[in-house]
Structure 1
C-alpha cells in the first residue's frame, strides 16, 4: 500500500456522500482530512452521556437544541463530512437542510470518546481541527479515557486559541455563545 499524497483525498466528496447514503444503518461514515473514516457505533455509556448533555443544554438554554449525529460540512472549502455526537444550534436551525449541513450558525459541537484505537487521532485531533477551521465557536470533548471534559473555544486561523480541561466532578463553564454550566459529577457514573 502506498501512502497517499498529502492533500489529495481518497475520493471526491460527492463519491463519499453517495457511499454514506447507501451504507447500512450499523455503519456510520465520515470524511475527515480527505480520508474515509468509520465511526464506531456507540455503547450505552456513550449514549447516556450524550443524553445527559442534551438535557443540560435544553434546561439551561430553551431556545437551543443539541442535535445528535447531525451531518456537518467542515474543513477547507467544506470538503470534510462529519457526524458529531452532538451539534448545538438554535431550535429549527437545520430545517430545510439536507443530510450534510453548512456549519454556519452552529454554536458548539460535542464528541464523546469511544473505546477504539482511532479515538486519539479522530476526536482529539482531526475533528477538533476541522471544527476550528469551520469556525464553530466551541468544541466540547468528553474524554472517557481521561475522565475529563475539555472545552476548545475562540477559533482563529483554523485552530482553537483557548483550551480548558476539567476532571469529572468539576463545574465546567462553557463560554459564550453557548453560556451553559455543567456540573459533571454525573459523568462519574459512566467511568469504567
Structure 2
C-alpha cells in the first residue's frame, strides 16, 4: 500500500462530514484530521479521566473564569486546515459559545494531552500534536505522559514547533509558563498509571 504524503487524504470539509456521521453512528468514535491524515482518538480510561479532573480543579483554582474544556474539537495547524480533539484546552469559560464542533483556537492558553495505552501515542502525542498546536499558535502544550511517568511542557511556539520543552518526572514541581502561570505539584500523577 502506498501512502500519499504530499497531499491530504481528503479535504477539511469532507473530514468534517465524515466525523459528524461517525459520531452519530458509532458511540465513542472520535475522529481527527492532523497532517492531512485521518485518525481515530482512543477512548479515555478511568485514570485518564481522573488526571483531567485533577488538572481541571487546579486550573479553576488559579483562573476562576477559565475552564479546562474537555474534548473540544479545534481548528489546528497552519491555515486551520487540521482538526484535533485535545483532551483539554484552557480558555475563558465562554470562549467557544456558539462556534459549533470545531472552534477557533485563538482564545486557547493551553492544550492538554494525557497519553493513552495505544500504539499511536508516540507519533500522535509527541510529534504530530506539538507541531499542530505550535502552528496554531497555542502558547502552551502540556503532555502528561503516563507511559514514561513524566510531564512535558512545550512553550514558545514559533509557527512550526515549540522552541522550549521542559521535561520533569512525576513527583516534581513544574511551572507552566505565562499566560498559564501555574505551578503543578505532580506527585498525584503517580497514582494514575498502570
Shorter-chain TM band: over 0.9
Distance 1:53 1:180 in 2: 11
Q: Are residue 36 (structure 1) and residue 52 (structure 2) matched?
A: no
Per the TM alignment, residue 7 of structure 1 is displaced from its structure 2 partner at its CA by 3.0
Unaligned runs of 5+ in 2: none
Structure 2 partner of 1:81: 83
Structure 2 partner of 1:179: 181
Q: Are residue 131 (structure 1) and residue 130 (structure 2) matched?
A: no
Per the TM alignment, residue 38 of structure 1 is displaced from its structure 2 partner at its CA by 0.6
Per the TM alignment, residue 184 of structure 1 is displaced from its structure 2 partner at its CA by 0.8
Per the TM alignment, residue 3 of structure 1 is displaced from its structure 2 partner at its CA by 2.0
Per the TM alignment, residue 26 of structure 1 is displaced from its structure 2 partner at its CA by 1.8
Structure 1 partner of 2:2: 2
Contact residue 136 and residue 159 of structure 2 kept, 8 A:
no
How big is the alpha-carbon RMSD for the aligned residues of Structure 1 and Structure 2? 0.8
Aligned length, in residue pairs: 191
TM-score, normalization: structure 2? 0.96
Unaligned runs of 5+ in 1: none
Residue-by-residue CA offset, 1:75-109 (whole Å, 9 max, x unaligned)? 12111000000000012111111110111111000
3-state SS of the aligned residue for 1:59?
A: helix
1:71-150 correspondence runs (5 A): 71-150=73-152
Structure 1 partner of 2:14: 15
Runs of 4+ deviating beyond 2 Å: none
Distance 2:84 2:159 in 1: 20
Distance 1:95 1:39 in 2: 24
Residue-by-residue CA offset, 1:142-184 (whole Å, 9 max, x unaligned)? 0011100110000013110111111111111101000111111
